[in-house]
C-alpha cells in the first residue's frame, strides 16, 4: 500500500507541475523582460503559489499539514531559519505565504528545468559563492521586500534530531542587522527518505516562530552564540510538536 501511494503522490505532483508551469509559461516570458530583481521576485511568487498548491491541494489526499503562525503577524524582511528533515521541506516552507529566496547547494542548479527556474528566482548558491557574493545577493533579495529561507543544517537529518547548525545565515543576519524567524517542520523525516522512497505517510505540523528582533540579534557577540540560541528554541519547539503528533496518532 505504501508503494502504491508513493507512486500516486509522485504522479499527481508531476501532473500538477506540468499543468501549473504550462499556465505560467506566458508570465515567465513576461518576467524575463523585467529588470533582474523584479524578475526574480515574480518568479519567487510563482514558486510560492506552486508550493502552496502542491501542499494544500495536491498532497491533501495523502497527508494534512497543521500550520500555525506564532509571529504575531510581523513580516519585516529577514532570514527564516528552517529545520531540514526531508526533501519536501522545499515545498513546506511555502506555508507562511511569503515570497522567499531559498539557500541551496550547487546540485539543484544543474538539474534540467528545476535549475533554470531556481536561477530565474535568484536562489542563493551557498556552495559556490563566497561570503561577499552571498551577502550582496542577500541584500538584493531583502531590498525588494522578500525573505531569505536558510537550512543551516546543510543537509537532511531524516530524524527528529537536528544536525548541528552552520553559522553562515546567522553571520549574514548580524552583518545586515536582520530579524530571524524560525520555521519548525515536524513529522516528515521519512517523507521521502534519501532514496526518495516514502516509508510512511503521516500528518505534519509546521510552526512559524519569531522573530528575534534585529536589535536583539545585534546583541550577540558571535554568530556561534546566535545560532546556538536559535538551535535551542527550535529543538524545544520540535520536541513539543513531535510529542503532539505522537499523541494524535494514538488517539
- pLDDT by residue (tens digit) across 44-86? 999 999 999 999 999 999 999 999 999 999 999 999 999 999 9
Partners of residue 186 on adjacent β-strands: 205
Mean of the per-residue pLDDT values for the chain? Answer: 91
Per DSSP bridges, beta strands 180-186 and 204-212 are antiparallel
Query: What CA–CA distance (Å, rounded) separates 131 from 222?
Result: 16
pTM listed for this prediction: 0.91
Q: Which distant-in-sequence residues (6+ apart) come within 8 Å of 149 by Cβ?
A: 79, 80, 81, 82, 93, 100, 101, 102, 103, 183
pLDDT at 132: 84
Partners of residue 65 on adjacent β-strands: 204
Please choose, from the candidates 61, 36, 152, 144, the residue with its C-alpha nearest in 3D space to the C-alpha of residue 98: 144
> CA angle at residue 87 from 83 to 93, to 5 degrees?
55
Local confidence band at 233 (pLDDT 50, 70, 90 cut-offs): very high
For residues 167 and 133, the answer to whether their CB atoms sit within 8 Å is no
The residue that leads in pLDDT, 196 or 42, is 42
CATH number of 2-250: 3.40.1130
Q: Please name the helix (run of DSSP H) or strand (run of DSSP E) that holds residue 65, with its range, or none.
A: strand 65-70
Q: Residue 14 above 80 pLDDT?
A: yes
pLDDT at 41: 94
33: alpha, beta or left, given left = phi > 0 and alpha = psi -120 to 50?
alpha
Per DSSP bridges, beta strands 100-104 and 124-125 are parallel
Q: Residue 191 above 70 pLDDT?
A: yes
Q: What percent of the chain has pLDDT over 70?
A: 99
pLDDT digits (tens, 9 = 90+) for 147-173: 999 999 988 888 899 999 999 899 999
Local confidence band at 1 (pLDDT 50, 70, 90 cut-offs): low
Amino acid at each position: 500500500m505504501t508503494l502504491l501511494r508513493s507512486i500516486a503522490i509522485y504522479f499527481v505532483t508531476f501532473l500538477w507541475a506540468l499543468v501549473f508551469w504550462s499556465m505560467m509559461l506566458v508570465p515567465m516570458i513576461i518576467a524575463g523582460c523585467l529588470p533582474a530583481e523584479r524578475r526574480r521576485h515574480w518568479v519567487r511568487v510563482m514558486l510560492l503559489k506552486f508550493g502552496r498548491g502542491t501542499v494544500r491541494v495536491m498532497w491533501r489526499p495523502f497527508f494534512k499539514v497543521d500550520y500555525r503562525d506564532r509571529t504575531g503577524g510581523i513580516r519585516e524582511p529577514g532570514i527564516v531559519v528552517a529545520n531540514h528533515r526531508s526533501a519536501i521541506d522545499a515545498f513546506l516552507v511555502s506555508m507562511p505565504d511569503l515570497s522567499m529566496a531559498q539557500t541551496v547547494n550547487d546540485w539543484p542548479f544543474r538539474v534540467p528545468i528545476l535549475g533554470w527556474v531556481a536561477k530565474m528566482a535568484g536562489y542563493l548558491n551557498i556552495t559556490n559563492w563566497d561570503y561577499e557574493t552571498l551577502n550582496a545577493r542577500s541584500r538584493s533579495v531583502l531590498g525588494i521586500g522578500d525573505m531569505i529561507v536558510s537550512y543551516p543544517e546543510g543537509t537532511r537529518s531524516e530524524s527528529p534530531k537536528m544536525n548541528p547548525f552552520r553559522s553562515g545565515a546567522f553571520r549574514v543576519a548580524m552583518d545586515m542587522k536582520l530579524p530571524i524567524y524560525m520555521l519548525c517542520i515536524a513529522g516528515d523525516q521519512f517523507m521521502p527518505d534519501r532514496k526518495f522512497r516514502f516509508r510512511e505517510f503521516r500528518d505534519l505540523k509546521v510552526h512559524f516562530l519569531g522573530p528575534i528582533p534585529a536589535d536583539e540579534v545585534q546583541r550577540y557577540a558571535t554568530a556561534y552564540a546566535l545560532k546556538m540560541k536559535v538551535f535551542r528554541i527550535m529543538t524545544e519547539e520540535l520536541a513539543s510538536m513531535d510529542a503532539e503528533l505522537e499523541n494524535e496518532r494514538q488517539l
